[in-house]
Amino acid sequence: MRSYENRQQSIVDRIDSEEPLAKWNDWKWQLRHSVSDIDTFETLLNIRFEADEREALKKTLDTFPLSITPYYLSLIEVEDFRNDPIFMQSFPSPNELIVSCDEMADPLSEDHDSPVPGITHRYPDRVLFHISNVCSMYCRHCTRKRKVGDVDSIPNKDEVLKGIEYIANTPEVRDVLLSGGDPFMLSDEYLDWILTEIRKIPHVEVIRIGSRMPVVLPYRITDNLVNVLKKHHPIWVNTHFNHPREITSSSKEALRKLADAGIPLGNQTVLLAGVNDCYRILKKLFHKMVENRVRPYYLYQCDLSEGLTHFRTSVGKGMEIMEHLIGHTSGFAVPSYVIDAPGGGGKIPVMPNYLISWSTNKVILRNYEGVITTYAEPDSYEAVYCDRKCDGCKLQLKLDEAQEYKSVGIAKLLSDFYDDTSLVPEDTARMERRNVD
């Protein structure tokens, strides 16, 4: 057996010598035996913390709880566990109690952009729907540490119904992302009911589900769960692998089941100091992703959530990594590097600059090697003036259902059918002086 399979047997033996290893693949068994205290963690991995370190760890757990599935625990390399990427993502650190002046409980202002409980409506045509605040494992870098594991904030059925009602009454919403917590912590029957209710809404085109189960508890991806998801196509699933070591035979099997069911898969990786802030690690991860039919979707700069200072890298490190990816591997293996803007600004792509300069008839570009080249603009381009009078437009739009909604932000400034010439923040001193005058 491979080393992690040996560790699996060792963990089962320490949990209960009467428990056969065959129960290992039962996701409910895994949840029942999740590690939630330091003593059990030490026992199962046969390690010991010093007394002062244990005291500091217990103080951390008073604020941010611990939960690790036996499966994910078995991936830790005990010989060098303090530097192990699995350990660092799953086990608490006293550094989590260090809150810098820049950190916030809700850095993305999800609560402020919540028209009804459970719904975050930030972008024009899509909403985030929080249907669970419970996870099989509490990731130490979680942006929603303020909610995850809080039994007082678990959405009940009435709150879920209010979220569904909001979606039904908001026709511009065409894309619903089910999130949490982890939606796959819900029972198959309850998840089936939620998906059925959302599918009844005519203007909802796509349902997405964000889950880390393929990473931390792949046995949750059962045949029955997959059959439930298949009933409600188009369903998309985004998961969250951060390191190549998380890709095991079990996680591959979970991904295979989902992909074979016709479910498009994406992956969102968080850039974490000491875990994956190395272009060789991330390139290997992304190659393994596409090998298992998962599209690398986002590489996130770590959020400004409370207690995450020790995980954050500089943006420069992220840019360096992108320089080692773009042009050096397949384009579909390169994610978008984004910063989820504090204050609810949404995901902002940050990429190396390949457009060096431009003039009236050409642009100057550089490639990944540093080659500088030009692209000639057309000598005569008659721009299409758009007044939103689609019936008289020469472009053959001919959509079955042409429904327009107002533009916002930069798109509004670029549009021909608005008179706005600038975007002006409301609370500037200049605006205050205008109001006084």
The annotated binding site is made up of 135, 139, 142
| Catalytic option among 72, 106, 113, 139 | 139
The answer to whether 430 is a known catalytic residue is no
Sign of CA dihedral 325, 330, 331, 336: negative
Nearest to 323 by CA among 353, 344, 293: 353
Residues 281-304: b if buried by 16+ CB within 10 A, e if exposed: bbbbbbebbeebebebbbbbbbbb
State how far Cα 3 lies from the chain centre.
30
Whether 295 sits among the annotated catalytic residues: the reply is no
Active site residue: 7, 126, 220, 245, which one?
126
427: number of Cβ within 10 Å: 6
CB atoms within 10 A of CB 416: 10
Question: Which two tokens mark 67?
Answer: 């939960």
The catalytic residue among 4, 23, 37, 123 is 123
- φ/ψ bin of 195: left (φ > 0), alpha (ψ from -120 to 50), beta (otherwise): alpha
Instruction: Check if 390 is active-site.
Output: no
Known catalytic membership, residue 303: yes
Structure tokens at 77: 């390399």
CB-side neighbour CA atoms (13 Å) of 364: 6
- The reply to whether 284 belongs to the active site is no
Q: List the one residue out of 51, 128, 55, 63 whose CA is nearest residue 99.
A: 63
Q: Which residue among the candidates 7, 71, 72, 135 is catalytic per the annotation? A: 135
Known active-site residue 122: yes
Verify whether residue 199 is a known catalytic residue. no
Answer yes or no: are the C-beta atoms of 198 and 160 closer than 8 Å: no
Beta bridge partners of 268: 298
**Binding site residues for [4Fe-4S] cluster, as ranges?**
135, 139, 142
Facing residues of 366 across strands?
Answer: 372
CB 61 within 8 Å of CB 38: yes
Q: What are phi and psi of 391, to 5 degrees?
A: -65, -30
Question: Does residue 280 have an active-site annotation?
Answer: no
Catalytic residue among 142, 145, 212, 288: 142
- Between CA 178 and CA 187, with CA 184 as vertex, the angle to 5 degrees is 115
Q: What is the C-alpha separation between 28 and 32, in angstroms, rounded?
A: 6
**Which of 345, 32, 429 lies closest to 219 in space, CA to CA?**
32
Q: Is 285 helix (H, G, I), strand (E, B) or coil?
A: helix
- The pair of three-digit structure tokens given for residue 217, joined into one six-digit string: 């508890």
Q: Which one is catalytic: 145, 166, 303, 337?
A: 303
Of the residues 347, 366, 368, 393, which is catalytic?
347
| DSSP 3-state of 217 | coil
Q: Is 293 a residue of the active site?
A: no
Q: Is 135 a catalytic residue?
A: yes
Query: Catalytic residues, which ones?
Result: 122-123, 126, 135, 139, 142, 144, 303, 340, 347
